[in-house]
A and B are shown apart, each in its own frame.
Chain A
Amino acid sequence: MMTALMLVAALAVPVIAGMSLVCLLCPRLKLGITETLLVVSLGIPVGFGVVSLVLFLWLVATNGQTRGAAILLVLVAVLLAAAGIARRRRGNGMSLDRSSNAESGLRWLAPAVGFGVLMTIGVVVLTAIAQPHGAWDAWYTWNRHAIFMQRGGIYWRDAFSAPETGWTADYPLLTPGAIASAWIIFGRESLLVSNAIGLLFTIALIGLLVSTLAVLRSRTQGLIAGVLLAFSPQLAIQGAAEQADVPLASFYLGTMSLLGLYDRSEGSRQWLVMSGVLAGMAAWTKNEGLLFVLVLCVVRAAVVTFSRGWRDALRQATMFGAGLLPVLAVIVYFKLRVVQAANDLLMHQSASAEVQRLFALGRYWYTSKAILAGVLGIGGWIVTLPAMLVMYLLLAGANTQRRDRVPIATGALTLGVMMVGHFFVYVLTPHDLAWQIRASLPRILMQLWPTAILTFLLFAKTVEEQRDGDAKQSAHATTLPQWGVNRVDGQPAFTMVAKAGRDGR
Chain B
Amino acid sequence: MKNARRIEIALATLVLFGLLSNVSSAHDAAMTMRRLPSDSDMVTQFGVHIAAIRRDLPDHGMVGFVSEPPEDMTVNAVYSREWVWLRYFLAPLLVVPYVPQRAWNGSDAPPPYTPLVIGSFHGAAPTRLLEEHGLVIVKDYGNGIMLLRPR
Residues of A within 8 A of B (CB): 106, 108-109, 112, 115-116, 119-120, 122-123, 126-127, 129-133, 136, 139-140, 143-144, 147-148, 151-153, 155-156, 158-159, 161-166, 224, 227-228, 230-233, 236-237, 379-383, 388, 391-392, 395-397, 431-432, 435, 463, 466-467, 469-470, 504-505
Contacts and interface: CB of A to CB of B under 8 A. Distances in A.
Contacts of B91: 144, 147-148, 152, 159
Given A158-B92, A165-B96, A463 B7 contact: yes
A123 B29 contact: yes
A130 to B, nearest CB: 4
A123 B24 CA distance: 10
Interface residues of B, number: 46
Contacts of B12: 108
Contact of A431 (B18, B33, B74): B74
Contact of A126 (B4, B6, B15, B30): B30
Given A112-B19, A391-B10, 18 more contacts: A136-B84, A139-B84, A143-B88, A224-B11, A224-B14, A227-B14, A228-B18, A230-B22, A231-B15, A231-B17, A231-B18, A231-B19, A231-B21, A233-B22, A380-B21, A382-B21, A388-B13, A463-B7
Contacts of B105: none
A123 B43 contact: no
9 contacts: A130-B36, A133-B41, A139-B84, A148-B91, A162-B109, A224-B11, A383-B17, A463-B11, A470-B4
Contacts of B36: 130
Given A152-B60, A159-B92, A395-B10, A116 B22 contact: yes
Contact of A163 (B21, B30, B41, B96): B96
The 5 lowest CB-CB distance pairs between A and B, nearest first, are A231-B18, A233-B25, A126-B29, A152-B92, A139-B88
B112 interface: yes
A382 B94 contact: no
A395 B33 contact: no
Interface of B: 1-4, 6-8, 10-15, 17-26, 29-30, 32-33, 36, 41, 43-44, 60-62, 73-74, 84-85, 87-88, 91-92, 94, 96, 109, 112
A148 B41 CA distance: 23
A155 B60 contact: yes
A382 B20 contact: yes
A396 B7 contact: yes
B86 to A, nearest CB: 10
B92 A161 contact: no
Nearest to B6: A395
Contacts, number: 160
Nearest to A435: B74
Contacts of B92: 147-148, 151-153, 155-156, 158-159
Given A127-B29, A143-B88, A227-B14, A120 B22 contact: yes
B77 to A, nearest CB: 11
A478 to B, nearest CB: 14
B26 A119 contact: yes
Contacts of A132: 41, 43-44
Given A131-B41, A152-B60, A116 B4 contact: no
Contacts of B87: 139-140, 144
Contacts of B60: 152-153, 155, 158
Contacts of B17: 231, 381-383, 388
B21 A381 contact: yes
Which of A126, A396, A432 neighbours the largest number of chain B CB atoms within 10 Å of its CB? A126
Contact of A233 (B2, B21, B61, B88): B21
A140 B84 contact: yes
